[in-house]
Amino acid sequence: MANSKYEYVKSFEVEDRLLPCTWVVVRIDGRSFHRFADVHGFEKPNDINALNLMNECAKAVMEDLTDIVFAYGVSDEYSFVIQKASNLYKRRSSKLVSVIVSLFAASYVFNWHTHFPDKKLQYPPAFDGRAVCYPDDSILRDYLSWRQVDCHINNQYNTCLWSLIKAGKSKDCANSELKGTRADFKNEMLFTQFGINYNELPQLFRKGSYIYRKKVQNSTANGTQISRKSSFVVTIDHGDIIGDTFWKEHPYILGAEE
């Protein structure tokens, strides 16, 4: 930018650099997505096409921004984990959030017809975002566990709610029937009244989706020698991330030695 007498206006900009040497999580959420889902006729309680579209958008973000090491998504939200050592956009919160949100929203519109070939996009989706720093691996994992627990609680409730609604009850009546009930009551209701074994529902619905860079070994032969090199493939999967198993199988995600 050329120097001029007007350059003083830069002094009014807010310094929004995030703390160094911390995990940065950028979480995006759909804005007014209840209305968006209703207008576009999403299946209740889960629309697999809409969820797959969200996953494809998150994967596109990770492929574009290599400092993102992990992402977790459910419903209309996605959390992107940026590695501790990253200096992407000089760790400016406004830059990180705006770039991730815009990449995600653009990908959503771009890929809409791949997942909804028979539905016209009635209006463009919008997402908000925020960036939060987490100082160590334990707190980062607690954050991700919180989101996955939230996924389970909301999905179990919504599965019951929409089963009751589809059986003929009003939304208010269904909500009243479920108010204050425990998880075991909901599981029993689903099984006895609707023949649904909650634990057999797709993990995509019950546990959400996570995306990571899967380490794969590539072998190439050169005469009598075999050369092996590791590469990383951005991979979408579904399963438990609260326990230790996943993290022990992929220690490099959080920067640990294998």
Judged by DSSP in three states, 244 sits in coil
- Given a contact cutoff of 8 angstroms between Cβ atoms, the answer to whether 206 and 75 are in contact is no
pLDDT at 1 over 70: no
Nearest to 202 by CA among 74, 93, 15, 107: 74
Residues of the binding site for GTP: 29-34, 75-76
- Given a contact cutoff of 8 angstroms between Cβ atoms, the answer to whether 237 and 210 are in contact is yes
**Residue 101 confidence (pLDDT):** 99
Output phi, psi for 158, to 5 deg: -65, -30
Give the residue, 221 or 228, on which the prediction is more confident.
228
- Between CA 244 and CA 238 the distance in angstroms is 15
pLDDT at 172 over 90: yes
**Residue 227 confidence (pLDDT):** 62
Q: Which two tokens stand for residue 168?
A: 């003929």
- Given a contact cutoff of 8 angstroms between Cβ atoms, the answer to whether 196 and 163 are in contact is yes
The domain 16-207 having CATH identifier 3.30.70.3000: the answer here is yes
The conformational region for residue 203 under phi > 0 = left, psi -120 to 50 = alpha, else beta, is: alpha
- Given a contact cutoff of 8 angstroms between Cβ atoms, the answer to whether 106 and 126 are in contact is no
Output phi, psi for 223, to 5 deg: 70, -120
Contacts of 7 (CB under 8 A, 6+ apart): 1
pLDDT at 258 over 70: no
Packing angle, helices 183-194 and 137-166, rounded to 10: 40
Instruction: Quick: pLDDT tens for 61-95.
Output: 999 999 999 999 999 999 999 999 999 999 999 99
pLDDT at 238 over 90: yes
Q: Within 10 A of 168 (CB to CB), how many other CB atoms are there?
A: 8
Residues of the binding site for Mg(2+): 29-30, 76
**Residue 51: Cβ-neighbour burial (10 angstroms; 0-12, 13-18, 19+):** buried
The conformational region for residue 187 under phi > 0 = left, psi -120 to 50 = alpha, else beta, is: alpha
Residues of the binding site: 29-34, 75-76
Instruction: Quick: pLDDT tens for 6-23.
Output: 999 999 988 899 999 999
Q: In the chain, where does the domain assigned CATH 3.30.70.3000 lie?
A: 16-207
**Residue 3 confidence (pLDDT):** 81
**Residue 220 confidence (pLDDT):** 66
DSSP assignment of 8-35: GGGGGS---BPPTTSEEEEEEEETTHHH
Mean pLDDT on 179-193: 97
Mean pLDDT on 160-168: 98
